[in-house]
Amino acid sequence: MDRKYDVITLGEILLRLSTPINGRLAQGDTLMKHLGGAELNIASEIGQLGLNTAIISKIPTNLLAAFIKNQLNASRVSENYLIEDHSDDSRVGIYYYEYGSYPRKPRVVYDRKHSSINNIEISDVPQTLFYNTRLFHTSGITLGLGGKAQDFAIHCIKEFKKQGTLISFDVNYRSNLWTGEEARKCIETILPYVDIFFCSEDTARLTFGKTGTINEIQKSFCEEYPISVVASTERTVITPKKHNFTSIIYSAKNDTYYRENPYNNIDVVDRIGSGDAYVSGALYGYLKHGDCQKALEYGNAMAAIKHSVIGDMVFTDLEEIDSIIKQHKNTSGYQSEMNR
Amino acid sequence: MDRKYDVITLGEILLRLSTPINGRLAQGDTLMKHLGGAELNIASEIGQLGLNTAIISKIPTNLLAAFIKNQLNASRVSENYLIEDHSDDSRVGIYYYEYGSYPRKPRVVYDRKHSSINNIEISDVPQTLFYNTRLFHTSGITLGLGGKAQDFAIHCIKEFKKQGTLISFDVNYRSNLWTGEEARKCIETILPYVDIFFCSEDTARLTFGKTGTINEIQKSFCEEYPISVVASTERTVITPKKHNFTSIIYSAKNDTYYRENPYNNIDVVDRIGSGDAYVSGALYGYLKHGDCQKALEYGNAMAAIKHSVIGDMVFTDLEEIDSIIKQHKNTSGYQSEMNR
Amino acid sequence: MDRKYDVITLGEILLRLSTPINGRLAQGDTLMKHLGGAELNIASEIGQLGLNTAIISKIPTNLLAAFIKNQLNASRVSENYLIEDHSDDSRVGIYYYEYGSYPRKPRVVYDRKHSSINNIEISDVPQTLFYNTRLFHTSGITLGLGGKAQDFAIHCIKEFKKQGTLISFDVNYRSNLWTGEEARKCIETILPYVDIFFCSEDTARLTFGKTGTINEIQKSFCEEYPISVVASTERTVITPKKHNFTSIIYSAKNDTYYRENPYNNIDVVDRIGSGDAYVSGALYGYLKHGDCQKALEYGNAMAAIKHSVIGDMVFTDLEEIDSIIKQHKNTSGYQSEMNR
Amino acid sequence: MDRKYDVITLGEILLRLSTPINGRLAQGDTLMKHLGGAELNIASEIGQLGLNTAIISKIPTNLLAAFIKNQLNASRVSENYLIEDHSDDSRVGIYYYEYGSYPRKPRVVYDRKHSSINNIEISDVPQTLFYNTRLFHTSGITLGLGGKAQDFAIHCIKEFKKQGTLISFDVNYRSNLWTGEEARKCIETILPYVDIFFCSEDTARLTFGKTGTINEIQKSFCEEYPISVVASTERTVITPKKHNFTSIIYSAKNDTYYRENPYNNIDVVDRIGSGDAYVSGALYGYLKHGDCQKALEYGNAMAAIKHSVIGDMVFTDLEEIDSIIKQHKNTSGYQSEMNR
Amino acid sequence: MDRKYDVITLGEILLRLSTPINGRLAQGDTLMKHLGGAELNIASEIGQLGLNTAIISKIPTNLLAAFIKNQLNASRVSENYLIEDHSDDSRVGIYYYEYGSYPRKPRVVYDRKHSSINNIEISDVPQTLFYNTRLFHTSGITLGLGGKAQDFAIHCIKEFKKQGTLISFDVNYRSNLWTGEEARKCIETILPYVDIFFCSEDTARLTFGKTGTINEIQKSFCEEYPISVVASTERTVITPKKHNFTSIIYSAKNDTYYRENPYNNIDVVDRIGSGDAYVSGALYGYLKHGDCQKALEYGNAMAAIKHSVIGDMVFTDLEEIDSIIKQHKNTSGYQSEMNR
Amino acid sequence: MDRKYDVITLGEILLRLSTPINGRLAQGDTLMKHLGGAELNIASEIGQLGLNTAIISKIPTNLLAAFIKNQLNASRVSENYLIEDHSDDSRVGIYYYEYGSYPRKPRVVYDRKHSSINNIEISDVPQTLFYNTRLFHTSGITLGLGGKAQDFAIHCIKEFKKQGTLISFDVNYRSNLWTGEEARKCIETILPYVDIFFCSEDTARLTFGKTGTINEIQKSFCEEYPISVVASTERTVITPKKHNFTSIIYSAKNDTYYRENPYNNIDVVDRIGSGDAYVSGALYGYLKHGDCQKALEYGNAMAAIKHSVIGDMVFTDLEEIDSIIKQHKNTSGYQSEMNR
């Protein structure tokens, strides 16, 4: 079967407006303008690594549409499934971001209610969509939007599954969208369709009521549902500007856990989107190499490098990520500080 | 009667996000952050000229509230009637602005639907509010929001009027909010309460179906309704970066028309808000000096200087405006290019 | 015949480094970073208007490649014919641009010698390339590079022509690349293959020794060579910041001259690339509508709007250009200053 | 007794001109523009926390006055006691600040001589001033200006004291204003009037010749003078970009020392003004809650958060500070990295 | 006689702090940092044209000294006569500049009182200074500082004159430094020593009570005093952003008036310092070519180009100025819009 | 013997274009513009410390020449031996720099091929050049350019040596210019002329095949060649933003090793050029004080402070470096955090 895309994601495309680093929303006269949104980040980053990607989303037809489309194309994400919202009510969801420095936490203000994706309809997309990709990814953020967006997402999961598409899902719990209980109930209805499941240890415990070690938790998901792969990131916040990051992946097929040494003392320029970068790397590694070890390595490397870049997503390419992985593994030998 | 405020306005406080001059929304990574909104501009500018002002509006309690409150205070506008919206749905309305250069027009994208002011309730404000000011001002923009905001505005007009407050109203027709017919019908219901009426010649013709000269049009409003003063701005667009500006005011009391020579060849840095600046100056002149000639001079000077400043409102003071008026009248004598 | 691309161009992709407006290269610590190059501009702009485009060029594989590829994709230009230069010697050509204000002229410093395109080889591209487009465009700049780039360009012109592809050529004379005599000799060898010929009146006189009226000059090219269409821009520099712009097109098929009123008093933010924008619009109009009148209107509108945008190329879309054309034709009726 | 203000401070308002972070005064073409001055910072910060504040200062009537007044109002500081200096000689004092990075120290250049506050006269303020506040604060900086400013400050201390106002004083020793010996002599004349005394351990030893532990030193001040509260900050400079910060407060009334764990590994964006922020928090806690424990907690939290913000003063509100205190106390439980 | 310098000037070196163009001092958080001062501008610009120059001035030894010295060297002005002010009181004078747009005038705030130059002493410079240059230049600004600076300037004029040095003087009347009457009295005492006299028509009338045509006025100065050359600039302000500029020079030796067509429609980016640029060009032309015609041409060209550059002085070189002069004279022939 | 310069260096002057810190070359629209090049850095920094320096280099005559000359003069480097390249082919070499954050390494793209220095000829400089300085410095970068630049450099080394000039050489191995083997062979031909030799331990081992301790390595160079002084820097990269730095110098004359405690936890703003700053300080200390201990201290201090400054070279002065050395030695006593 020859499918046009390797990955199609579904989610909201947000305008991200952030203060200059060290600045505050209450002061100054400048904002940085980027795009964000978990599923956009993932489609973009997998596209940069070289696979074919598309995003299903709905956006207004105003001047901001050009900004969005330019960015999608720059990241090699197809705009074929970008649905135009011609309603009077159309809007791009926004989030404002203020960078923190200890002891001042970073802060987020969401203004995403009533955005165009909340008007998405099954009739907005052609049925052929569901035949067209190897993997479909969405997250708990899209489900958490509720209403039509949730209905649409569940519809997509089922339809893609019918066509033998791999279903990837990241819980990505956001307390400002729904309660843990609402999230659990909804997600449990789609878990029977999921192949690759991203869930942090905290979320597993708090939202799904899991107990035991992380290994036990991961395995339990695969025992309850026909999930093949469970991936959980592990982050240690040393200071807001220094994090350690790694992950653990469980493969049900060979009942194996994959781990590697953390990236330690990561310089945190911008932490937002590092979880999405992890998903990007992991899906890339899995799809390209069919291998959880590669998923682990690409996931960790993408997440680690994301912290060094301003904005929701990293702009990188395969060559850079491969060199980061190589350097990370080379723990004993000589490492150049910079090549010149 | 001793009233605490000279002017209270009612209207939406918008976040204005504009491209750097000559930049486009579809490109770049920076936006300028300002506040806007016709009634905010007017309260701020009258406050800067030295009268006591307040604004009735409704805003969220998130991080943007601090930005709004800092700006209100910086402009000497009381935050006493700023209503906090604690609902989940609360949001600040936004407009995006892209500067133009001939033949590329400036463009505006509004994202103001569902903003907090649309939830405003009569019970949000104390009844004492209506005893507390010499003049109340609102505009067709607030009425055009429809729903609760429109109801609230009409309630205010009637309540303030009962207390002998002067009612000022600027048509400020926006085709993206309502049709001309909707506007006409609604505005005609409040014209019986209006004392000072701002209406451009174009709007008078297109929306109210007026005919004849501008003089005849102005007078006709006072004949149909108990309006005391009608003010109409006159703008000539030479190029998008050069405008001429003046106005004509009709006073029903003494059946007199007030005019002065236009400000010619105004350097247009940012044209947005020049109509509001006109209202500010006119109301200041009228309230401070009780005189339509002063209203005319302050209105024209405020509007003219507004064009030279980035953002929705001018930051100025009485001394600067007085010197601009003096210089404008001094058409024959020697004018220094700069004082040093 | 089903061809994948509407337009393929051939030319150098340059890094454009310009001072902030009003700044000088000899001072300050900031430069603006854009891409430029006549054929890149044309491919990008036609891509933005909705046709399928690609560019043939050769670039290094270093970090700048990512910048170039992101921009190509953002402009919907295919990177399929972007040739990687793996040699040690590979480099991106540069031009530095300093904005002027009367009486200080804008100034350009070229640093494009030895850039990767000068190593382009016929073996770098697949033979299938030549079957794949409706129109091929290149310019006198590419020929003026001399050496392998010139050989490659002439080879392309002949091979594309064999496949029935329309050949478009813009003289774009640059005295820093070659002498007028060198240019004339070289261009005369390719004119027998050219279908659409862009040549300004000045260049026709100075380089090709033409005499008579512009009408006579245009016709004479079609009499000497099997050229179908000759287009000549007409620019009047009122001041460095105010230009008038229009053009005249001659169609040999129906022996007709096409003209329209100039865009007058254009606000010149950045004049570079307005000639390329003209070619973009003219080719778009010609290919889309098969009509010299449309070529004229789109060419003039694209050139006019280009002046309002910083950088080598305009970022726009069909809707905006159509509204500019409509507004330009509407010389008598009411024109809104801004829509809101 | 009903007093209009909670806190009135007396001190110079300085224009602070700082290089971009990592830049040097000797290079570049940009400076950041802020206001500073210990007593301005304190009035502003207490105002932001919700108490009524005013500042006594003297400034020119030129264009900078508008900048100063806008900022005062934005921070909710009354401009009622801002004295206009109409003399030819009037000027705003300046300090230039260059950020450091180890081993390059930050550097300050003061240009505050001859500024308007040095012309302050007792006759500049109404006698009613002294009846109007619960607490008066000034510092050794104001005394160190010498001349009329020193005389005025001493006069204020005595007059406020007469009205039963709490007198707060921060030694804030500046070696570029006076010698330690001059400072000691002058300050000893006002200590009999002081209720709340801010003095670091170093200054106590070097300037006042104190010996013993910090506990003994604090107590000794209360034994020699009728001081109620002595507060001393404790800062550990780990690196110029990482500090630990806490303080110790001694209350003579109940002969008790108040301490808490330091804020460790504070990210130092801008260290200037953190001492003032401490005073702000401590006075807020003391006035609002009448409690040295609260003074300690608010003082430490305000000082800690100040380091994260560019400029002399922090822009914050009570909600943010309360959350920082809560998070700081929560040393064992789960702490979210960011709320979303 | 072999003299080391062609021109030595005497005057204050000021720090110029200006708002971003279109910004206001009362808003924003950024200032542009430049150096200014009439005699610094002149020494720098003549240095850039290729003659040897030095400036006599007095500056503090703080961090700003490095900025000043870097700039002097960058402009090829010798720092040999820069006197260090080691006093506690030392400071660099400042002026704040806010750009205007009609009808908002540009505004200047001076803060130059008590600056280091006001402490200049005859003993600060070596006697050999007076043997070392072909021409000495100072202005009415330096005299207007009064006190020691005035005494020093008069001393210099007399001492340089004794050594056969040409004395150049620009009235440069500033009403914020002294009255017209004070200026006249003081300047009349030095006119007997002056060889080259710069005085605008307005100043001649208002300050020196001259009447008649500009020709008569210029000649009258040479009749009253042993002045060889009188130069008067002629500026027409069309709009604040469009000026015409030319000058008229009278040579007493051959009783001739020199004129040329004005530079019309100059794009005014920054008008400050254009008078100084005129003096620079005129002195350069006179010293290099011994010719009032050259003085006129270089003076006008330098003044004209200055308007196009942000800051007090133009950064240029002889080649650029020569091309501007050539282009200005070429009123009939073909003029390229830009060379490339 | 009276020589005009203390130090003359020979090397390429590069334009350095770097991303804003935390930005990427593939994104954004701004670059920072600086000059770089090892020998330029060294001449500039020694000039700033107070010795007379010049640089031998070759540059185009275009607009960038003014930028280069302004910078040279600002750093007190003579432009007397700056050779103008009038060829069509002239260009300034460039390097692009992208700042890194762990785990993203900083990256450099060189575009220095075919630059003007590669056309340097012995006939470009006067023979008197070789009589005119106390010390001549060049590096392996200049030799690594190969061709005419290498020939010229070897010629200079021999000619200067003939005149009794000290010869200083820094290996500065760049793998993108030549192989280790090529470097070794070439450098061995000039080592017989070298007096002061800068070579890191890594380079000594990898390129020169040295073994043993660093002490043994240093001594071995002096045994094989008539080298007087060998200096080797020692850097420990804790994280990309924290380095330790010191060095070890061996003096053959008194067979002594000089060391001092490292500067630990240096805040790395910009690491580029810290090796050159070391050479600058070491040569300054050696020439000024004739003492390897001083060479060590100035070298280490200059290298340490360089890390705190954006750009290739530090802008500093002797007073600042002396205070850094003093503070570094004062390991036990009290250290102020900042002087004010």
Task: Report the distance separating Cα B195 and Cα B161, nearest Å.
Answer: 10
Name the residue in chain D with its Cα closest to that of E114: D114
Task: Report the distance separating Cα D30 and Cα A88, nearest Å.
Answer: 44
**Cβ(B170)–Cβ(B200) below 8 Å:** no
Task: Report the distance separating Cα C75 and Cα C37, nearest Å.
Answer: 14
- Among E153, E159, E155, smallest CA distance to E172 is for E153
pLDDT category, B89, cuts 50, 70, 90?
confident
Between B26, B67, B114, which is nearest A66 by CB? B26
Q: What kind of architecture, by CATH, is found in domain B5-329?
A: 3-Layer(aba) Sandwich (3.40)
Q: Is B20 on the interface with F (CB under 8 A)?
A: no
Contact E108 B339 (CB under 8 A): yes
**D93 DSSP 8-state letter:** -
Domain D8-328 has CATH 3.40.50.720: no
Task: Report the distance separating Cα F252 and Cα A257, nearest Å.
Answer: 60
Contact E74 F76 (CB under 8 A): no
Task: Report the distance separating Cα A59 and Cα D162, nearest Å.
Answer: 68
Amino acid at site F85: D
Q: Is C62 on the interface with A (CB under 8 A)?
A: no
Helix (H, G, I), strand (E, B) or coil at C76: coil
Task: Report the distance separating Cα A270 and Cα F218, nearest Å.
Answer: 44
The pLDDT, as a whole number, for residue D240 is 81
**Cβ(E142)–Cβ(E149) below 8 Å:** yes
The pLDDT, as a whole number, for residue B119 is 96
- Among C288, C331, C339, smallest CA distance to C46 is for C288
**Cβ(C14)–Cβ(F9) below 8 Å:** no
In a mutational test of the F interface, the residue from D22, D172, D201 whose CB has the highest number of chain F CBs within 10 Å is D22
What is the residue extent of each domain of chain A?
5-328
Amino acid at site E228: S
CB pairs under 8 A between D and E: 73
Residue with tokens 């750093």: F75
Q: Using a CB-CB distance cutoff of 8 angstroms, which residues of chain E are in contact with residue C103? A: 263, 266, 301, 304-305, 308, 324, 327-328
Q: Using a CB-CB distance cutoff of 8 angstroms, which residues of chain F are in contact with residue E47? A: none
Task: Report the distance separating Cα C37 and Cα C312, nearest Å.
Answer: 8
Q: Give backbone dihedrals phi and psi of D258, rounded to 5 degrees, phi first.
A: -110, 130
Between E62, E96, E111, which is nearest D109 by CB? E62
- Among C125, C16, A116, E102, smallest CA distance to B264 is for E102
Tens of pLDDT, residues E116-158: 999 999 999 999 999 999 999 999 999 999 999 999 999 999 9
Pairing of strands B242-251, B256-259: antiparallel
Distance from the Cα of D308 to chain A's closest Cα (Å) equals: 5
Tens of pLDDT, residues C111-129: 999 999 999 999 999 999 9
pLDDT category, D9, cuts 50, 70, 90?
very high
Between D70, D315, D317, which is nearest B74 by CB? D70
Kindly tell me the burial class for residue D253, based on how many C-beta atoms sit within 10 Å of its own C-beta (0-12, 13-18, 19 or more): exposed
Contact E76 F75 (CB under 8 A): no
Average pLDDT taken over every residue of chain C: 95
- Among B95, B272, B102, smallest CA distance to C328 is for B102
Amino acid at site E287: L
Distance from the Cα of A128 to chain D's closest Cα (Å) equals: 36
Tens of pLDDT, residues A155-192: 999 999 999 999 999 999 999 999 999 999 999 999 99
Task: Report the distance separating Cα D82 and Cα D85, nearest Å.
Answer: 10
In a mutational test of the C interface, the residue from F85, F111, F174, F175 whose CB has the highest number of chain C CBs within 10 Å is F111
pLDDT category, C328, cuts 50, 70, 90?
very high
State the DSSP H helix or E strand holding residue D143, giving kind and residue range, or none if neither: helix D140-144
Q: What kind of architecture, by CATH, is found in domain F5-11+45-56+122-328?
A: 3-Layer(aba) Sandwich (3.40)
Q: Is C32 on the interface with B (CB under 8 A)?
A: no
pLDDT category, C336, cuts 50, 70, 90?
low
Name the residue in chain F with its Cα closest to that of E316: F66
In a mutational test of the A interface, the residue from F95, F96, F104, F177 whose CB has the highest number of chain A CBs within 10 Å is F104
In a mutational test of the C interface, the residue from E241, E267, E306, E336 whose CB has the highest number of chain C CBs within 10 Å is E267
With contact defined as 3+ CB pairs under 8 Å, the chains touching D are A, B, C, E, F
Domain A5-328 has CATH 3.40.1190.20: yes
Contact F317 E66 (CB under 8 A): yes
**Cβ(A218)–Cβ(A198) below 8 Å:** no
- Across the range D254-280, mean pLDDT stands at 96
Name the residue in chain B with its Cα closest to that of F23: B29
Contact A33 B34 (CB under 8 A): no
CB pairs under 8 A between A and C: 20
Name the residue in chain B with its Cα closest to that of E272: B338
Q: Using a CB-CB distance cutoff of 8 angstroms, which residues of chain E are in contact with residue B319? A: none
Tens of pLDDT, residues B300-310: 999 999 999 99
Contact C75 A75 (CB under 8 A): no
The pLDDT, as a whole number, for residue F330 is 85
Other C-beta atoms lying within 10 Å of the C-beta of residue A126: 11
Name the residue in chain E with its Cα closest to that of F44: E70
Name the residue in chain A with its Cα closest to that of C72: A74
Distance from the Cα of D207 to chain C's closest Cα (Å) equals: 45
Interface of A with D in 219-248 (CB under 8 A): 237, 239-241
Average pLDDT taken over every residue of chain A: 95
Name the residue in chain F with its Cα closest to that of C16: F29
Q: Give backbone dihedrals phi and psi of C33, rounded to 5 degrees, phi first.
A: -115, 115
pLDDT for residue A1 is more than 60: no
Query: Long-range pairs for B331-334 at CB < 8 Å and ≥24 separation?
Result: B331/B261
**Quick one: tokens of C230?**
């000759």
Q: Is E64 on the interface with D (CB under 8 A)?
A: yes
Name the residue in chain F with its Cα closest to that of D103: F305
Q: Is D70 on the interface with E (CB under 8 A)?
A: yes
Between C267, C270, C320, which is nearest B240 by CB? C267
Q: Is C105 on the interface with E (CB under 8 A)?
A: yes
Contact A96 B63 (CB under 8 A): yes
pLDDT for residue A336 is more than 80: no
The pLDDT, as a whole number, for residue F61 is 95
Q: Is C265 on the interface with B (CB under 8 A)?
A: yes
CB pairs under 8 A between B and D: 20
DSSP output for C152-207: HHHHHHHHHHHTT-EEEEE----TTTS-HHHHHHHHHHHGGG-SEEE--HHHHHHT
Peptide bond into A240 cis (omega under 30): no
The pLDDT, as a whole number, for residue F338 is 73
In chain F, the N- to C-terminal Cα span, in Å, equals 46
pLDDT category, D330, cuts 50, 70, 90?
confident
pTM listed for this prediction: 0.95
pLDDT category, D336, cuts 50, 70, 90?
low
Tens of pLDDT, residues B31-48: 999 999 999 999 999 999
Beta bridge partners of residue C277, listed in sequence order: none
Tens of pLDDT, residues E153-210: 999 999 999 999 999 999 999 999 999 999 999 999 999 999 999 999 999 999 999 9
Pairing of strands D53-60, D82-85: parallel
With contact defined as 3+ CB pairs under 8 Å, the chains touching A are B, C, D, E, F
pLDDT for residue B336 is more than 70: no
F76: left (phi over 0), alpha (psi -120 to 50) or beta: left
Task: Report the distance separating Cα C262 and Cα C247, nearest Å.
Answer: 8
CB pairs under 8 A between B and C: 58
User: 3-state secondary structure string, F191-215?
Assistant: HHHCCEEECCHHHHHHCCCCCCCHH
Average pLDDT taken over every residue of chain B: 95
Tens of pLDDT, residues C183-230: 999 999 999 999 999 999 999 999 999 999 999 999 999 999 999 999
Amino acid at site C93: G
The pLDDT, as a whole number, for residue E336 is 67
Other C-beta atoms lying within 10 Å of the C-beta of residue E148: 16
pLDDT for residue D1 is more than 60: no
Q: Is C267 on the interface with E (CB under 8 A)?
A: no
DSSP output for B167-187: EEEE----TTTS-HHHHHHHH
The pLDDT tens digits along chain E (340 residues) read: 579 999 999 999 999 999 998 899 999 999 999 999 999 999 999 999 999 999 999 999 999 999 999 999 999 999 999 999 999 889 999 999 999 988 998 999 999 999 999 999 999 999 999 999 999 999 999 999 999 999 999 999 999 999 999 999 999 999 999 999 999 999 999 999 999 999 999 999 999 999 999 999 999 999 999 999 999 999 998 888 899 999 999 999 999 999 999 999 999 999 999 999 999 999 999 999 999 999 999 999 999 999 999 999 998 999 999 999 999 998 655 556 776 7
SS3 content of chain F, % helix, strand, coil (to 5): 40, 25, 35
Q: Which comes out higher in pLDDT, residue F209 or C240?
A: F209
**Cβ(C244)–Cβ(E272) below 8 Å:** no
- Among F168, F171, F174, F253, smallest CA distance to F204 is for F171
Contact D74 B76 (CB under 8 A): no
Query: Long-range pairs for A295-299 at CB < 8 Å and ≥24 separation?
Result: A295/A229, A295/A231, A295/A249, A295/A258, A296/A231, A296/A247, A296/A249, A296/A258, A296/A259, A296/A260, A297/A260, A297/A325, A298/A49, A298/A325, A299/A231, A299/A233, A299/A247, A299/A249
DSSP output for E25-70: TTS-SEEEEEEE-HHHHHHHHHHHHT--EEEEEEEESSHHHHHHHH
Q: Is E74 on the interface with F (CB under 8 A)?
A: yes
In a mutational test of the D interface, the residue from A105, A107, A205, A244 whose CB has the highest number of chain D CBs within 10 Å is A105
Tens of pLDDT, residues A255-296: 999 999 999 999 999 999 999 999 999 999 999 999 999 999
Q: Which CATH superfamily is domain C9-328 in?
A: Ribokinase (3.40.1190.20)
Contact F76 E73 (CB under 8 A): yes
Task: Let me know how long chain F is.
Answer: 340
**B105 DSSP 8-state letter:** P
The pLDDT tens digits along chain F (340 residues) read: 579 999 999 999 999 999 998 899 999 999 999 999 999 999 999 999 999 999 999 999 999 999 999 999 999 999 999 999 999 889 999 999 999 998 998 999 999 999 999 999 999 999 999 999 999 999 999 999 999 999 999 999 999 999 999 999 999 999 989 999 999 999 999 999 999 999 999 999 999 999 999 999 999 999 999 999 999 999 998 888 899 999 999 999 999 999 999 999 999 999 999 999 999 999 999 999 999 999 999 999 999 999 999 999 998 999 999 999 999 998 655 556 777 7
**Quick one: tokens of F335?**
């250290």
Distance from the Cα of D170 to chain B's closest Cα (Å) equals: 28
**Which CATH number applies to E10-328: 3.30.43.10, 1.20.140.10, 3.40.1190.20, 3.40.50.300?**
3.40.1190.20
**D312 DSSP 8-state letter:** S
Amino acid at site D56: I
> Residues 6 or more apart from D220 whose CB is under 8 A from it?
D210, D212
Tens of pLDDT, residues D222-252: 999 999 999 999 999 888 889 999 999 999 9
